[in-house]
Amino acid sequence: MSEETTPKVTASLSSLGFAGHEFARASLDACVKCTICETQCPVSAVTPLFTGPKFVGPQAERFRNGESVDHSLDYCSSCGTCTLVCPQGVQIAELNSQARAVMKADHMPLRDRLIGQTVLMGTVMTPVAPIARAALKNKPIRKVMQAVVGVHENAPMPPAQSQTFESWFRKRPAPAGPFPRGTLVFFHGCAGGYFEVETSKKSVEVLEHLGYQVLVPKQGCCGLAQQSNGLFDGATKDVLKLCDDLRSAGKDLTIISSSGSCTGMLKHEAHEIMGVDDERLKDVGTRIRDIMEFLLELHDAGELPTDFARIEMTVPYHAPCQLKSQGIGKPALEVLRLIPGLTVVDSNATCCGIAGTYGLKKEKYEIAQAVGKPLFDMVKATNPDLALCDTETCRWQISQSSGVRTEHPIWMIHKAYGLS
């Protein structure tokens, strides 16, 4: 298909319109029905409610025109494992996400609209953080939430903080410099701005320790939570607004993020799932790096100081689905193994089960728990006190379901540099 006939998300073709366009399904004819995706799918392995990625994806796609013929499609978690393992390059997870968005368009549940409003949640919870934390741990309140909203009473909730990252960054004493390494832009994401504030702080402090000036422009949501719930048009507006925000800090600067999920949204998901074809997204997507990916690039170039303090510890590490979907390997694993005394054990688990907001939903909670159980058992057996993982909702899932405190790998780097 020529560039002139390739559909783009414009005023005349919305992101939801793209999901029903034949170009979005261009890879399905490469499917040879080998069923590798079926054998690797973590959801169909634990429940008969999902008939499998091939059946609801390339196979069903041939019989639908923007509307799913099999509503078990809604039980796909969009973890992306099927796309990763497909030897033919079929974009199975993307096909399924697009078909589900079309399927839900005329009857979008209120819950799925609400849980995509991450900035709103953070804005409301931060001023009353102690009350919000207590309320979300209160069993009667959680039972009401499950009955009224549809969020499972035992699902992990974002941990409200009394100070946002932006507030901390603005009020702290600014480092005087010099900055021999130049300037970087930091993208913290909604969770890093409101709920995982300490991870964002430690990320900035490590980058400054390495000799970089760090700029943090005012920034909004990437739209990932809306996209994963089928709200493509709202997600498209958010991701393009975010691109404008990040570009305002400097058009040639590398962008660093400690939010692996949001990084994936900017790198490829907004384009591959929603069809966003915009120069602003292309620019940001090519300049953004996951923070551990960036540190590994520095090490490979001989530019990462490795004067790490010795840390005698064995710690489990889980690479999230959204990190693996970026095709960058497991950079955290390689960087962490540079720390003397630290033994890092790869979970090799396919998925923790949470899949963004999937495992929060009352009808999918038990499925998410079954998907993640091998990981939870491995984490508890390896170190009952600490685990490491790159993305926020996965950390909350592992912490809640295993009882093991789970932090971003940058916490360990921060400690090894003597910063904490």
Give the pair of three-digit tokens for residue 38.
């079926």
Burial of 146 (0-12, 13-18, 19+ CB in 10 A): middle
Whether CATH 3.40.50.10860 fits 15-107: no
Distance CA 43, CA 316 (A): 23
Which strands make up the sheet holding 342-346, listed edge to edge? 342-346, 313-318, 387-389, 406-407
pLDDT score of 2: 39
Q: Give the bridge partners for 389, in sequence order.
A: 318
Torsion sign, CA atoms 161, 167, 173, 179: positive
pLDDT score of 71: 83
pLDDT score of 18: 66
Mean pLDDT in order along the chain per 10 residues (420 residues)? 42 56 70 93 96 88 64 92 94 90 87 93 96 96 96 96 96 90 97 97 98 96 95 95 96 95 96 93 97 98 98 98 94 98 97 96 98 98 98 97 98 97
CB 142 within 8 A of CB 153: yes
Nearest 5°: phi and psi at 118? Answer: -70, -35
The ranges assigned to domains in the chain are 15-107, 306-416
Nearest 5°: phi and psi at 44? Answer: -65, -20
pLDDT score of 359: 97
Q: Which fold has domain 306-416?
A: Rossmann fold (3.40.50)
CB 47 within 8 A of CB 367: yes
3-state SS assignment for residue 118: helix
DSSP state letters, 271-322 = HHTT----HHHHHHHHHEEEHHHHHHHHHHTT-S---PPP--EEEEEE--HH
DSSP code at position 175: P
Q: Using alpha carbons, select from 207, 397, 201, 385 the residue that is nearest to residue 318.
A: 397
Q: What distances in angstroms separate CA 327 from CA 189, 229, 264, 321, one per listed residue?
A: 21, 23, 10, 11
Distance CA 263, CA 266 (A): 5
Largest CA distance in the chain: 63
CA–CA–CA angle 128, 131, 137 (5° rounding): 135
CB 317 within 8 A of CB 292: no
| Position 86, amino acid | C
